[in-house]
Amino acid sequence: MRLKIFLAVLLIVISAPAFAQVAPSATGEGVSLPLSVGGGATMMDLDWGHSRRMEGPTVWIDWNLTRVSKRFGGLGIELEGHAIDYGKPKSIPRMRQDSYGGGAIYTVQRYHNFRPYGKFLIGYGSLDFDNSNPDYKHDTRTIYMAGLGVEYHLAGNLWARGDYEYQFWPKLFQNAQTLDPQGITIGATYKFGHRGLQY
């Protein structure tokens, strides 16, 4: 229930600027700010036994270097965070996976209303889990995240986003094992700057 409330509030917050009657901050070909913010819901396969999936909110911020200078040719910087804490299987009631990272995102040239992209991020992972050892139920690691996705232009500065991400958590459980969670995120992005800009 909390996840549904969060997603409803997030959708309202992200959608509100698209309908605001505000005059553009500049005219001509210039861009006021090469920044995008967004959020959505993620369904993650935990890589923790058979068919163990959970959900949680995801947020991201992108800084588009192409909009600063054309020589960067589709390159940008992304910051992203996941909080996978909903829909816990009964067999692992302590489970929670949080991940935060930053890195490069590369966007392919816009095709009609679609913009495909790929990304590679390095970050921090925090894992709570059930264990027979009472002194070892939490671990943290440097993690790596790679993903592919596509954005679809809805209206004005608002875009829908679908994203697949694969994560690599090395040397967990006292260096004996790795985790490879992977998941799908559905959400929306608000791109600051001129409405309808071809970026």
pLDDT (tens digit per residue) in 113-164: 899 999 999 999 999 988 888 888 888 999 999 999 999 999 999 999 999 9
pLDDT (tens digit per residue) in 84-100: 999 998 888 899 999 99
Q: Is 43 exposed, middle or buried (0-12, 13-18, 19+ CB in 10 A)?
A: middle
- Closest to 11 measured CA to CA, from 160, 143, 117: 160
Altogether, the residues listed in the chain come to a count of 199
* CATH number corresponding to 2-17+34-191: 2.40.160.20
Q: Which residues pair with 165 in a beta bridge?
A: 147, 183
Whether 151 and 124 have beta carbons less than 8 Å apart is answered as no
Q: Residue 193: helix, strand or coil by DSSP?
A: coil
Confidence of residue 178 (pLDDT cuts 50, 70, 90): confident
pLDDT of residue 6 exceeding 80 = no
- Planar angle of CA 154, 155, 158, nearest 5 degrees: 75
- Domain ranges for the chain: 2-17+34-191
pLDDT of residue 11 exceeding 50 = no
